[in-house]
Amino acid sequence: MFGSLNKVPLRNMWPHEALNFTPWLAGNVDSLGLALGLELELIKEEASVGDFSLDLLARDLSTSKLAIIENQLTQTDHDHLGKLLTYAAGFDASFVIWVAESIRDEHRQALEWLNNRTDTDTQFFAVVVEVLKIDDSKPAYNFKPVVFPNEWHKSKSKRTASNQASPRGEKYRSYFQGLIDDLREKHHFTAAKAGQPQNWYSFSSGVSGASFGANFCQGYKVRTELYIDRGDAEENMLLLKYLEQEKSTIESELGQPLSWETIDGKRATRVALYRDGFIENPNSELEAIKEWHISNLLKFKAMFTKHLREFNK
């Protein structure tokens, strides 16, 4: 009735760590984020820290905080632990992620100790990557987190930070917590789990340099957007113009016109949809705004993802 589940040695899939495994992980950093409850977007491979090179530098879109990722095809070792801490300091990273074939007990204990001793702005993760087959099936990969931040230990600090947020910041946190919970649980749109006391929230598009966003703007407006920042103003404009070639088709599918924008004082560009709204609105109106955000985020993902991937090619 059942097949036999077998684990495939990682080197059968990726013979060389730097040449094979790191590039593969770079292309699947969003899946790694999904396993950790983060919205990870790759910034750079082989990012320099002095004479050393970090495997992957990424950003959590929901907070705009940096994540460093060090990977191994083997069991963890002391050399990589030292590098991990060096890179964390060099980039002032908020998320420190160690991916390996297996995690030695002493290294698991070290990361748990760091999670217990550091503040809530620095979080350490250890992740085992597995390749599995059922009988002669195609191989499938799995990210299995084995070290998470100790939320119980840090809960007092989190409550303190929460108490320090302004009343309006708490309203933003509450609004976006409801938004991401619905997007995660009902629509499988995101892996994000924690609302922030800020007037925006970004979600991965699966394509580096482009993200989907829900915002409260100045002037009593709210916005759903595709935000474009590939690190270069000219390339951002090229992508905006590329998408504008499909403007009539995209707006026809959406059922209303979009705003195609350059952003004053920034290299980024965006495609956006607006409506009236304010975080101080009554709860019934905020609920309507949340449904509007959800509906349009889903539409944006369906409409833009294929065009973004085609541009990347």
For residue 142, what are the CA distances in angstroms to 20, 205, 245?
17, 21, 38
Q: Do 193 and 180 form a contact (C-beta atoms < 8 A)? A: yes
Residue 95 has pLDDT above 80, yes or no: yes
Q: Strand (E) positions, 39-182?
A: 40-49, 52-60, 65-71, 95-100, 123-134, 140-147
Residue 30 has pLDDT above 60, yes or no: yes
Question: From CA 126, how far away is CA 106, in angstroms rounded?
Answer: 12
**Percent of the chain scoring above 90 in pLDDT:** 70
Q: What is the pLDDT of residues 109-131, one digit of tens each?
A: 999 999 988 877 899 999 999 99
Q: What is the pLDDT of residues 53-72, one digit of tens each?
A: 999 999 998 888 999 999 99
Average pLDDT over residues 231-255: 92
Q: Considering the domain 5-156, what is its CATH architecture?
A: 3-Layer(aba) Sandwich (3.40)
pLDDT band at 151 (very low <50, low <70, confident <90, very high): low
Residue 265 has pLDDT above 90, yes or no: no
Q: Considering the domain 165-312, what is its CATH architecture?
A: 2-Layer Sandwich (3.30)
What pTM was estimated for this model as a whole? 0.70
Q: What is the pLDDT of residue 164?
A: 61
Average pLDDT over residues 252-270: 91
Average pLDDT over residues 7-17: 94
The owner of tokens 């990726």 is: 14
Residue 159 has pLDDT above 50, yes or no: no
Question: From CA 123, how far away is CA 93, in angstroms rounded?
Answer: 9
For residue 164, what are the CA distances in angstroms to 63, 197, 199?
17, 10, 16
Residue 52 has pLDDT above 90, yes or no: no
Question: From CA 145, how far away is CA 100, in angstroms rounded?
Answer: 10
Average pLDDT over residues 33-61: 89
**Percent of the chain scoring above 70 in pLDDT:** 95
Residue 11: strand, helix, or coil: helix
Q: What is the pLDDT of residue 1?
A: 78
Give Cβ neighbours of residue 179 (< 8 Å, ≥ 6 apart): 195, 201, 214, 290, 293, 294
Environment class of residue 96 by beta-carbon count within 10 Å: exposed (0-12), middle (13-18) or buried (19+)? buried
**Domain boundaries, given as residue ranges, for the chain:** 5-156, 165-312
Any bridge partners for residue 130, and if so which?
Answer: 142
The H or E element that residue 244 is part of is: helix 233-244
**Judging by DSSP bridges, how do beta strands 200-204 and 259-262 pair with one another?**
unpaired
